[in-house]
Amino acid sequence: MSKEEWPCYGRVTVAEDEFFRRPHGSLMPHATGRVDAARAVVFAPLDGTGRAELVEKRLTDAIVTGVLHDGERLPTEADLSRSLGVALVTAREALEVLRDKGLVKTRRGRDGGSFVTFDRDAATRLLERRLRELSRIELRDFALHTSAIAGTAAETAAGRASDDDVETLERIADAADLTTAGGARRAVSRFQLEVAAVSQSPRLVHEEMRLQGEAGSLLWMCLREQEYRDRSAIARLRVIDAIRDVAPDEARAETITHINSAFEWLIDERARIDARTEDAASDPKDVP
């Protein structure tokens, strides 16, 4: 069956075609190939009807979490519309919103285009605003869904991984950049997508990509703290050990524990943000 015939994918775009093609021509994904996994998630097709606000949200998340770097040149409007599977006017409207928010600037001329402008304080405010807009029930449901997909992928991978697959996972773990939140976020994305690839299930890979694109930036907000970057690195090593030892239950459990830890931090952070907001509202200095 060709990639164009996979029922879970529909029409395959340029971004997916590059991500899903290994160097030797097979079509299962490989996060260590020429396309970075986290970036592949950013430019993967949107599910359902593509609206400008969905495109804007996807790109905003990628910018504020550091997946797209300050000064990085974005694809042209035409390329962006093709990779996301949306109309050209939709991509154009989304970029206009990003410019209005100060996340993208446009340069004219031969070396022109749309470039990322990253401001750490502004990025933090945007993420915190998104977090406050979601209820605890919504956050818990997303964490549960993510755990189900990632846990199943790890469990299945433990029964199907070859020695080469384990070595690939080890290389990804060794190459992880834990010095920044963006680097740690990319490490999580690459690793989880590769585990899904090792499971040999295109559906699991597709769902993992969709979930990362939908709200992965929120779930892994904890990676702004070095302690959680280190915890994440340890969790990856434990999952690799379980896959190497052909221990499906352990691989699943370690994966879910990793995600639950991120979720618990998120709930605590939501409480801290709410408390700061209430304190600011009750501050006598703010009363006219």
The Cα angle at residue 56 between residues 74 and 197, in degrees rounded to 5: 70
pLDDT digits (tens, 9 = 90+) for 52-75: 888 888 888 778 767 788 888 999
Mean pLDDT (whole number) for 70-82: 90
Residue 264 and residue 138 share a domain:
yes
> Domain limits at 79?
3-120
CB atoms within 10 A of CB 125: 12
The predicted structure's pLDDT at residue 38: 58
Amino acid at 78: A
> Closest by alpha carbon to 84, among 124, 44, 27?
44
> Closest by alpha carbon to 192, among 163, 217, 172, 167?
172
Confidence band (pLDDT; 50, 70, 90) for 19? very low
Residue 247 and residue 162 share a domain:
yes
In a domain, 286, yes or no: no
What's the total number of domains in the chain? 2
CATH of residue 23's domain is 1.10.10.10
Structure tokens at 133: 């807009």
The predicted structure's pLDDT at residue 50: 56
Contact 191, 156 (CB under 8 A): no
Residue 155 and residue 257 share a domain:
yes
Mean pLDDT (whole number) for 197-206: 89
The Cα angle at residue 100 between residues 98 and 106, in degrees rounded to 5: 70
In a domain, 146, yes or no: yes
